[in-house]
Amino acid sequence: MSVSEASLRAELLATSRAMGSAGLNVGTSGNASVRWHGGFLVTPSGLAADACTSGDMAWIDASDRAHGPLAPSSEWMLHRDIYAARPDAGAILHAHSPFATALACQRIDIPPFHYMIARFGGHDIRCSRYATFGTQALSDAAVAALAGRSACLLANHGMLVFGRDLAHALAQAVEFETLCAQYWHTRQLGDPVLLSTAEMDEVIDRFRDYGRPRELAD
């Protein structure tokens, strides 16, 4: 195992555990992956992060063959298809976090109630159509909901986000869950006042280089 592979496996395991510490996942729910060696490393199926080692992370190669001592996450096709559709995705996180899941069970898109919605690429965050977990239908629905976005809700399921790398994807997931909580709370007071198309366009423009490394922002 090369040093780069070992460090990436360790980072994937640490990210999976951090999802639990952040309240995004409980038990064996959720999964995470990172691009590697023409395919991707993904967390294993049915095993809590605290019970895993870095060697338990499965590698899905470019021919969809799984390598490792444990079966890959049942959602591995979801990760494969997002990587294929989105070259800008370096790492993907899927979680059953409380507020995102509550909204996903209502099957509602999140409108521009707050300008930070623009951090995920557009004027809103979509909820995908429902499909059974671990199926190609779910993968197709997720890819469609992510068009032009870096996050979406999966109907009656949870959240899905991607980032440039694992650290960025985890930060995106925490921020997304925070927005979901804020939207849930503001709906208790009534329908929120939404930002206009022009206002969101301005925010999106200002966010183009926000938080990006200097060499990527130039």
For domain 3-217, give its CATH number from 3.90.1280.20, 3.40.1190.20, 3.40.50.620, 3.40.225.10: 3.40.225.10
**Tens of pLDDT, residues 132-148:** 999 999 999 999 999 99
**Nearest residue to 163 via CA among 87, 73, 88:** 88
Rounded average pLDDT per 10-residue block, the chain, 218 residues:
82 97 93 96 95 96 96 97 98 98 97 98 98 97 98 98 98 98 97 97 89 54
Q: Where are the domains of the chain?
A: 3-217
Task: Give the active site residues.
Answer: 75
Q: What is the DSSP string of 105-172?
A: HHT--B-SSSGGGGGGTSSSB-BPPP--TTSHHHHHHHHHHTTT-SEEEETTTEEEEEESSHHHHHHH
**Tens of pLDDT, residues 53-68:** 999 999 999 999 999 9
**Tens of pLDDT, residues 69-88:** 999 999 999 999 999 999 99
